[in-house]
Amino acid sequence: MRSGSSLLSNILSSNNGLCGYGETHRVYTRQEDLIDLSFDLCIKSDVLPTPRLVYFDKILHDYIEDESYYSLPNILFLFLIRDARDTACSTQRMFMRENENPNQMTLDYTRDRSKKLQSILNQIKIKKNIAALRYEDLVKHPNKTLTALRHFIGLSEALTPDYKRSWHTGVKGLGDSSDAIKTGKIVKAQGALNSTLPEEIQLSCEQSQRPLVQELENQGFFLNI
């Protein structure tokens, strides 16, 4: 969340080899949920299933309850990482609309998410099915980043920075609903600039995410661009 995942989802959904639209809000409690996902995505995306079609879902850190998923050979795991301070400030802006104490909510959420993601990373059995992507690389070096991501997924068609605006683009509840996401091209999101999030909380969020980033770096999971 708040990591540029809506942008990436729109780029992915514009590729004919992929089927998905972002966050389905599906909680994975059994392996049969993957079959349900494929049917749901094909219906909502109005595409016919083919053997080479790759289905994707943008999931939060607590959406996988069935731990057998971490051993399945046909699942790829992509960790999207954004600068911790920028992510925290974006999260705080979202919580300001919903909570009385957005600063503490931001810190608590960041700590919980970082720990859970690191736990998920350590549970995935097939290491070649793991990749990590930096949001900053996607914005600054889109072509190189998307080429590396294409090879990781195994797509025959290139991923491009310009994407199709579809029924799900900018829809509230499915991710980013800002004007920037509706442009059909990569626009750098607002980060820590002009944020009201206190410096000490930004620092704590950065420290909370650091072990996850270091683990991804140490194991060589970041896409080589």
Q: Encode pLDDT of 19-50 as tens digits.
A: 999 889 999 999 999 999 999 999 999 999 99
Cα distances (Å, whole numbers) of residue 222 to 19, 79, 98, 167:
23, 9, 34, 31
**How confident is the model at residue 199, as a pLDDT?**
94
pLDDT score recorded for residue 172: 82
Please give the Cα distance from 161 to 7 (Å, whole number). Answer: 10
* 3-class DSSP assignment, residue 203: helix
Q: By the 8 A CB rule, do 198 and 103 touch?
A: yes
Which top CATH class is 5-218?
alpha beta
Residue 76 has pLDDT above 70, yes or no: yes
79, β-bridge pairs: 132
Residue 101 pLDDT > 80: yes
Q: What is the DSSP letter of 83?
A: -
For residue 143, the model assigns a pLDDT of 96
Give the tens place of pLDDT for each residue, 124-157: 999 999 999 999 999 999 999 999 999 999 999 9
Q: Percent of the chain beyond pLDDT 90?
A: 75
Bridge partners of residue 77, in order along the sequence? 130
Residue 81 has pLDDT above 90, yes or no: yes
Give, as one character, the DSSP assignment of residue 20: -
- Outline where the chain has alpha helix (H): 5-13, 33-45, 84-95, 102-123, 135-140, 142-153, 199-218
| 217, two tokens | 């770096």
* Cα-based torsion angle of the residue sequence 105, 5, 22, 196 in order, rounded to the nearest 10 degrees: 30
Residue 193: pLDDT band with limits 50, 70, 90: low
Q: What is the pLDDT of residue 194?
A: 64
Any idea where the domains of the chain sit in the sequence?
Answer: 5-218
